[in-house]
Amino acid sequence: MTVRVRLVVAYDGSCFHGFATQPGQTTVAGALKFSIDRALRDDVALVCAGRTDSGVHAWGQVVTFDTASERFDAVGLQRSLNATVGPAVAVRAVEVVDAGFCARRSALTRRYRYTVLNRDVPDPFLAATTWHVPDELSIRALRLSCDPIFGEHDFSSFCRLPKRDLGASLVRRVDDARWIDLGDGRLRFEIEASSFCHQMVRSLVGTMIEVGRGKRAAGEMAGVLRARQRSQAGHIAPPHGLCLWSVTYPGFDSAQPDA
């Protein structure tokens, strides 16, 4: 008899070439699978809620896999994984879920956070998780730049076009987008959508920072969106400021798996 297991995983993406397994590269999925296979003496197939790029972090990544029920012990597996993949990766929760649950297909929304350190002087203790922008930024302009992206749009201007499936839809539904002033020079962009195109959040942030710097008007965001041309958007923000914060499912939010 097999069981479907759900993990909630956090990781510092600095030392990984993204989440997905890649030959010859150190990845989050590769490290997890190696440790899971060894702990359970099995060859599991991992499914994740969202593939993060090289250098991108996560707090609420969700992973599912199937394994034999006689080999599974939630407490023991969590301890084993955290001892072998930590501290760069932390398995925050382990539980058996319904066989129909899928980390990717069952997800309702995904929420990302991007943090900017807007100070004259960088902070070495925040360097791995924030983008240092010393130029003066207008929080009002940043907030106004969010308005045009709410709702369902074609985000071709704000993503890398798919290499394999050239006909894939780049239409996404954005449910929430906001800039938050955390104080002490820290600004956070939060965005929630049904799903995201490749590099979509970083492209949005890079363009919005140009608005915050006064190099673009906030109203230009709507025109960039309508153009459906990557060349119309700004530079892509660096990966280390980005974090996959949470994934929501019916009755479950990965940011707070025990709530």
* Distance between CA atoms of residues 240 and 56, nearest Å: 5
Pick the closest to residue 85 from 46, 28, 14 (CA basis): 28
At which residue do the structure tokens 């009002």 appear? 140
* Distance between CA atoms of residues 6 and 157, nearest Å: 34
CA-to-CA separations, 95 to 33, 50, 142, 258, in angstroms, rounded:
17, 19, 40, 11
Catalytic residue status for 53: yes
* Distance between CA atoms of residues 259 and 255, nearest Å: 9
Q: What is the DSSP string of 156-186?
A: GGGSPPPSS-TT---EEEEEEEEEEEEETTE
Q: What residues pair up with 235 in beta bridges, in sequence order?
A: none
Q: Please report which residue ranges of 73-218 form alpha helices under DSSP H.
A: 74-85, 139-144, 200-212
Pick the catalytic residue from 37, 42, 53, 253: 53
243 by DSSP, 3-state: which? strand
The first and second tokens of residue 86, run together, are 């930590």
Q: Which residues contact 253 (CB under 8 A, 6 or more apart)?
A: 60, 246, 247, 259
Active site residues: 53
